[in-house]
Amino acid sequence: MTKTYLAINPLAIFLLDETGNVTKYKQWRDQAPATLAEKLHFIEEGKLPEELVSFLSENKSEIDILVLEDEELARSISSQLKISVEVETGGNVFRTFRENIVKIVEEKLSIPQAEYYKKLWEISLELTRRKVRKAAEKRDLFIAQAINALDDINKTINLLASRVREWYGLHFPELDDLVDEHEDYLKIVSEIGMRNNFTKEKVE
């Protein structure tokens, strides 16, 4: 069966034959760096942008086996589009494509080398910003979860301390008025124990 290779570039989607020649391609509709960075980030998470789904659907009848480099993306395409897929990392076809990408972009997309590198820099910058922002949001989420956990622990400790005061107060009610802090109260109860063990020296 014939293999077709899917190569995703920041500016376009390419289908390659087994010799590495471009057979079909589609430039991303919106070429704004922020939009392109969003699409690439989407793809990195194994999700399928609408334009990629449309492009593959249009060419599905000509694809026996679709070869990709990303396993998560391959699973998404197989599941959503019912296309037979294979994962191949570091293969000759993809390596040759990357080595000739500047020439391919010039010929297929009519984008000169200088402009291509400028666009790559702008997209990379936007993608980095997006990843840093997401990492910061995740960090803030962890901090919020930690604070909530500490609040829960503090509430539990206060509840347990109140129960100890209630139950031990039946045995020694005067102690509740003598000691305000939960921590001091629990320490006294645990170390001295029964009421008849209490002396001024031990409490001090």
Instruction: Please name the amino acid found at residue 200.
Output: K
Range of the domain at 53: 3-134
pLDDT at 202: 57
In the chain, how many domains are there? Answer: 2
**Coil, strand, or helix at residue 3?**
strand
In this structure, are 110 and 146 located in the same domain?
no
pLDDT at 156: 81
CATH of the domain at 198: 1.10.287.4070
In this structure, are 20 and 80 located in the same domain?
yes
Domain stop point among 98, 115, 134: 134
Count of Cβ atoms closer than 10 Å to residue 180 Cβ: 8
In this structure, are 48 and 118 located in the same domain?
yes
pTM of the model: 0.64
pLDDT at 151: 79
Instruction: Please name the amino acid found at residue 91.
Output: G
In this structure, are 19 and 88 located in the same domain?
yes
CB 72 within 8 A of CB 48: no
pLDDT in tens, 125-147: 888 887 777 777 777 777 778 88
Helix (H) or strand (E) holding 103: helix 101-109
SS (H, E, C) 20-84: CCEEEEEECCCCCHHHHHHHHHHHHCCCCCHHHHHHHHHCHHHCCEEEECCHHHHHHHHHHHCCC
User: Would you say residue 204 has pLDDT above 70?
Assistant: no
In this structure, are 122 and 154 located in the same domain?
no
In this structure, are 130 and 155 located in the same domain?
no
- pLDDT mean over 46-63: 91
pLDDT in tens, 14-45: 999 999 999 999 999 888 888 898 888 888 88
Q: In whole angstroms, give the CA distance from residue 5 to residue 90.
A: 13
